[in-house]
Structure 1
Amino acid sequence: MAALYRRTISVLDKFVPPKLQPIWNHEAGPKTVHFWAPVVKWGLVVAGISDLARPASNLSVQQCGALAATGFIWSRYSLVIIPKNWGLFSVNFFIGLTQSVQLYRAYDYHYNVKGKEQQETEAVSQEKVVA
C-alpha cells in the first residue's frame, strides 16, 4: 500500500504548479499523514453541526464534554509539536467549539428544562395528596 501511495505521489509531483510547490512539499503538506488525518477528522465537525438539528433530550452530556475537552486539548498540542500543524489545530478547535455548543444544549435541557418538568410533576402530585 505504501509503495502505491509513493508511486501516486511521484506521478502527481509532475502536475503540481510551481506556485503550490511550497505547500505540496511542506512537512505537514498533502504528501504526509499530517495533512490527511485532519482532513478526514473534519467529518467529526460535520457530524457535530448536523447534530444541532437533533433534539437536546437525545444528547449525552458526558460524550459532548469529552469531545469538547479532547478537541481543545489537541488544539493546544497541535501548536506545540514540530512542525506546527495549523490544519490539525483548526479541526480540533472546531470540534471543541461544536461540542461546546452541544454540551450547552444538553446541559440546558437536562438541568433546566427537565428540572422544571420534574418540579411541575411534583407540584401536581402534592396537589392530589392535599385534595
Structure 2
Amino acid sequence: MAATSKIQAIWNHPAGPKTIHFWAPTFKWGISIANIADFSKPPEKLSYPQQVAVTCTGIIWSRYSTVITPKNWNLFSVNVLMAGTGIYQLSRKIRQDYGSDAKEVTEKQLET
C-alpha cells in the first residue's frame, strides 16, 4: 500500500511523468551521457565553445531548478551532471592546450 501511494505521488507530482517538466530533463540526460562517452575522446578533439555551453547550461539551470515551484529534482540532477562533465572536459582540454606537457611537445616539434 505504501509503495502504491509513493508511485501515485510521483505520477501526480506537478513535475511528474504526465508533464513536460518531467520529459524535457529526462531527454536532456542524453547530452550528459554523450559528454561522458566523450571522456575517451582525445582532448584535442574537444570543443571549447561546446564544453563552455554545456558547463554554463548546467550551472544556470541547476540554480533555476532549485528556485522554481515545484522543485524539479530531475532537472537539478541532470544539470549538476552536465556542469560536472563540462568542467571535466574543459579541464582536460585546458591541460592539453596549456599544460607543461603541451609546451614540451610544441618545443620538440619546433626543433625538428
Q: TM-score range by the shorter chain?
A: 0.7 to 0.9
After superposition, give the CA deviation of every residue in 1:24-81 in whole Å (9 maximum; x if it has no partner): 1111011100011111000011101100010111011232122111111110011111
Does 2:55 match 1:72? no
Does 2:102 match 1:114? yes
For normalisation by structure 2, the TM-score amounts to 0.88
Match of 1:33 in 2: 20
Aligned letter for 2:30? G
Bigger Rg, structure 1 or 2: 1
CA separation of 1:22 and 1:75: change in aligned 2, threshold 3 A: same
> Unaligned regions of 5+ residues in structure 1, if any?
1-16, 126-131
Stretches of 4+ moved more than 2 A in 1?
Answer: 113-116, 119-122
Contact 1:61 1:107 in 2 (8 A): no
Q: Measure the CA separation in 2 of the matches of 1:29 and 1:41.
A: 15
Does 2:43 match 1:50? no
CA RMSD of aligned residues (A): 1.4
SS at match of 2:69: coil
For normalisation by structure 1, the TM-score amounts to 0.76
Q: How many residues align?
A: 108
> Unaligned regions of 5+ residues in structure 2, if any?
none
Q: Measure the CA separation in 2 of the matches of 1:26 and 1:66.
A: 30
Q: Measure the CA separation in 2 of the matches of 1:19 and 1:86.
A: 16
